[in-house]
Amino acid sequence: MSESVVLLHGFSGTHRAWDGVIACLPPESYRPLALDLPGHGDHAAAREVGGEAITFAGCVEHVLARTPARFTLCGYSMGGRVALHVALAAPERVTRLVLISTTAGIEDPAERAERHLSDHQLAEQLETIPFEDFIERWRTQPLFADEPPEVGVLAREDQRRNRPDALAAVLRGIGGGEMHPLWDRLAELTMPVTVLVGDRDAKFQALGRRMVELLPDAELVLAPGGHGLPLENPEAVAEALQRIDT
């Protein structure tokens, strides 16, 4: 029987970010389901429902309402933080967890407050400057340095599938500065976990190692690439999704 695999993209991406990964998964063994998270892609209009802002709780409901009873869950960057919330809310439904280039949150209150301010400033930019200018500012930050040019092309194409006002609502609702850290809850996640990080992504390697130390059944896997592994190295992501089967 094939295994359901739910895929959650990062900030300003869409379900199309997983096209390369899905192409690498054996169709006879896996049923991939790539979702658009609230405020993204086909769910941009869901940025606010009845005046209610995007929240992590709302994202959990969004994912669980669109997924089968049991599934492997894979999240990249912001999608990885959402995946942690989903797995903690419904551990009986998540058979395996793959976390890519992500974190369990910012613990230091001052650092979290600084990130909150930064996220809100970015949200203001999304509402005041041309979207193409924002995309270029986002893609030229150090996090994406040294990525191959073709990866940048794919990422920009995917970002253009979004609406800037919806992305602003995402930053204000589930940006890194809005998330209560989950480090002290990682021990609750007893399902097998693979933490996948690019070998050029030093910051998230350190975060990944710490997550593995706190998760009961986890391994850290380094893959050639930077922060944006689903686009840069989809083969490695597909291998990680299959890795826990061995």
- Helix H, strand E, coil C: the string for 152-184 is HHHHHHHHCCCCHHHHHHHHHHHCHHHCCCCHH
Question: What is the domain partition of the chain in residue ranges?
Answer: 3-243
Write down the pTM of the prediction: 0.96
Which residues in the chain show pLDDT less than 70? 46-52, 244-246
CB atoms < 10 A from the CB of 41, how many? 21
Residue 243 pLDDT: 74
**CATH code for 3-243?**
3.40.50.1820
Residue found by looking up tokens 């089967």 in the block: 245
Angle between helices 164-174 and 56-64 (to 10 degrees): 110
Residue 50 pLDDT: 45
Residue 53 pLDDT: 86
Residue 52 pLDDT: 66
Question: Which of 178, 179, 167 lies closest to 123, judged by CA?
Answer: 167
